[in-house]
Amino acid sequence: MNERTGFRMTPQLILGVSIALLGALFLLDNLRIIYIGDFWDFWPALLIVFGLSKMVQPRGSSGRVAGLIFTTIGAALLLDNLRLINFNIWNYWPLLLVIAGASLIWRAWDTGRAAQPGNNTEGVISVAAILGGVKRVSTSPNFSRGEFTAIMGGCDVDLRQASMQNSPAVINIFALWGGVDIKVPNDWSVEIQGMPILGGFDDKTFHPQNSAKRLLVKGAAIMGGVEVLN
């Protein structure tokens, strides 16, 4: 019995079509069949293509938000190059500070709420590194949550001696021009749900099969990096 698969819009398809069209344009220009002219005015289209490739990821993927951001910025830069609007991206760099401040406020409020009487704070780790480095080792028998912030600094958290009683445990991360390294036990199954913006989340763990101990890594890495390993 033959099985027919439906047409699906995938990131590979979008990138493949875009690269093929780009090559065809250069070829036709070299053969003097068409004239590209001020081709580099259209370079923001690369950001749009990259953003669209992220936006067609499965529903719930964190990359879809980053894709929307890249698509919006690319479209604004393209319209500016075409003299249709006046847009200077450097006017908006303070938004990074607004995002960083809002994230810190939210994490402080959330941590304070968890620390109220009656709430169990055992197994909760909060680490912040600003213009510096912080190393932390946890031996908690019931790790449940982590709040890690790195702004132009680095966090190194070792959870290999910790254990987990209630799954899943959650780690929220905010990295701005900084990095976070997390070491976890071999029997923990890690799931990355973070949003990279000109940054990255790197999972180098073993991924044990049918593990009852799941760790969810959420948050954002803006021009920064997050690495999880055993």
Helix (H, G, I), strand (E, B) or coil at 77: helix
- pLDDT of res. 87: 79
Helix (H, G, I), strand (E, B) or coil at 29: helix
Residue 179 · residue 227 · CB < 8 Å: yes
Separation of alpha carbons 154 and 75, rounded Å: 33
Separation of alpha carbons 144 and 213, rounded Å: 11
Separation of alpha carbons 188 and 167, rounded Å: 10
Mean of the pLDDT values across residues 20-47?
Answer: 77
- pLDDT of res. 185: 92
Q: Which helix (H) or strand (E) holds 73?
A: helix 63-81
Q: What is the pLDDT of residues 153-171, one digit of tens each?
A: 899 999 999 999 888 999 9
Q: Residue 3: pLDDT band by 50, 70, 90 thresholds? A: very low
Query: What distances in angstroms separate CA 108 from CA 5, 94, 105, 212, one per listed residue?
Result: 48, 21, 5, 30
Q: What is the pLDDT of residues 170-213, one digit of tens each?
A: 998 988 888 999 999 999 999 998 888 778 888 999 888 888 89
pLDDT at 1 > cutoff 50: no
Structure tokens at 104: 């810190």
With CA atoms as reference, report the closest residue to 221 among 190, 193, 195: 195
Residue 187 · residue 162 · CB < 8 Å: no
